[in-house]
Chains A and B, each alone.
Chain A
Amino acid sequence: MRISGRSFEHGNVLLCVLCTILVVSLIGGNVLLNCMTRYNVASSQVRSWKESLDAAETGGDIAYAEVRKKIFDPTHAFSGWTYSGGAYTNSPVTYGQDNLSTTSRVDPFYYDGNGNAWYRIRTKGTAPVLGLKRVGMDDRMGPNTRGDSLLRKIDFNYDHFVATYGPNGDGVGQTLLPVSQPQVSRRVELIAAPVTPFEAAIKAGGTFYGLGSAAYVDSYRSATGPYDPSVKTNPADPRYADSHAGTVEINGSVATIMGNIYGNLYTNGGTVTKKTTSISGIIDNNVPFSLSPFIMPSTAGWNYISSPAVINPNTTITPAAAGSADKPNYYLVNSFVNNGSLTVNPYTANGVPQETYVAVHVTSDIGSSNGQGPSITVPAHVHLDIYFDGNLQTKAENIVNTSGYASNLQFYAISPTDPNIQQTVNLSSGSGSTAGFSAVFYTPSANFTITGAPDITGAIVCKNFYTNGNIHWHYDRALDGQGDAVDYRVISYVEDIR
Chain B
Amino acid sequence: MMFMPKIIGFVCNWSLPAEVELTSPTRIHGYPKIHIVRVMCVGRIDPAIVLETLAKGADGVLVIGCHPPDCHYIEGNLQAEWKIKMLKKLISQAGLEPERLRLDWTYTFEIERFAKIVNDFRNKVRALGPSPLGVGSLDANMFLNINAAKSAAEDFRLRVMVGREELLIEDGNVYGEEVSQEEFDEIMDEAINSEYIRNRIYLMVKKEPLSVKDLSKHLGVDSRTVLGHIVVMRQRGWVTVDRVEGTSPLYTALEVGR
Pairing of A with B: no
Chain B contact residues, CB within 8 Å of chain A: none
